[in-house]
Structure 1
């Protein structure tokens, strides 16, 4: 192929040498400046949000707004409000007051946790761990935990996952046991659940 028939319309190499480096530096500098400005704005915004210095009626109003959206344990609510409050002592005093007036209730948090975790197929050990993470005493729902038929709960979960048949395969049996243990059931309930035959009381 004859190069003369296909002359170069643009000398890209020459253009790059003439403008490329400057253009690249300009774009890079502009990008860095924009990124630094955005980081600064985000930092300032975050700092402003975390240092509102709420107190008195404004802190109380914010606490009510928080509680209307979600149930918080006492410890969670204190930590949440302390991020925006002027005084941690005022936060603690306010939360104690809200708790005494039943606007905040660890009892409700515990009962809601029990209900939601049971719906998700979780056993008592998992529920206790969840409550501990929220700094809620599981003793608040000791009766409910005691009255729940955890063997039935474990059995229904086993049937849903593995069917009605009682397996004699040791590997499959071990797999079923690990599954139910991971879900938070105790060994006594697990053994009864995986050994239970259909229509057996």
Structure 2
């Protein structure tokens, strides 16, 4: 057998064993509904049973897309990510677009970008084009919008 061949795992989970596996997954970390369905379908015999189970878990608040969105947003902000990068991560979790928009609107992106710039480059506003370009690239890579970046690199500590 070659290494590139995928070994199909037998789908054996139903009923209480499927429910136990779902709880085991959710005790380790929060999953979006789409992620949890995909994970459970790897081992479940009946995809309809998985859909009903995930719906039930969401109704009982064991699974919450809202919580996933909040935790992901907080985590990404701690990592110094900007609006565009965070949107990508949230979309990858297949969360509702309205939920994503709701979570992102309360964040002060200018302040986030400024704190990141100060941490990396200090408070000084530079007039050296090479350093400015480096700051712009750094913040762009992190996912900040250009208007936020330009305000950030021109901002003094008194503002």
- TM-score, normalised to structure 2, is 0.90
The reply on whether 1:172 has 2:137 as its aligned counterpart is no
How does 1:47-58 map onto structure 2 within 5 Å?
Answer: 47=8, 50-58=9-17
* Matched ranges for 1:108-123 at <5 A: 108-123=67-82
Q: Does the alignment pair 1:160 with 2:131? A: no
Larger fraction in helix = 1
**Cα distance between partner residues in 2 of 1:117 and 1:139:** 19
Structure 2 Cα separation of the partners of residues 172 and 138 of structure 1: 37
TM-score by length of 1: 0.72
Alignment of 1:12-91 (within 5 A): 47=8, 50-91=9-50
> Match of 1:155, SS?
helix
Where do 5+ consecutive residues of structure 2 fail to align?
none
Confirm or deny: 8 A CA contact 1:99 1:105 kept in the other structure.
yes
Cα deviation, residue 146, structure 1: 1.8
**Larger RCO, structures 1/2 (Cα 8 Å, 6+ apart):** 2
- Out of 110, 113, 119, the residue aligned to residue 151 of structure 1 is 110
3-state SS of the aligned residue for 2:69?
helix
For the residues of structure 2 that align with 1:88 and 1:141, how far apart are their CA atoms? 27
Shift in Å, 1:97: 1.4
The DSSP-based 3-state class of the residue aligned with 2:105 is: helix
1:106 to 60, 65, 68: 65
Query: What RMSD over aligned residues (CA atoms) do the two structures have, in Å?
Result: 2.1
Question: In the TM superposition, what is the alpha-carbon distance from 1:147 to its structure 2 partner?
Answer: 2.0
Deviation at residue 81 of structure 1 after TM alignment? 0.5
Q: Secondary structure at the match of 1:147?
A: coil
Bigger-Rg structure (1/2): 1
CA apart distance, 1:131: 0.6
Asked whether the 8 Å contact 2:113–2:144 carries over to 1, the reply is yes
C-alpha contact 2:44 2:50 (8 A) present in aligned 1: yes
User: Which consecutive residues of structure 1, in runs of 5 or more, have no partner in the other structure?
Assistant: 1-35
**Cross-structure match for 1:137:** 96
CA shift at 1:92, angstroms?
Answer: 1.2
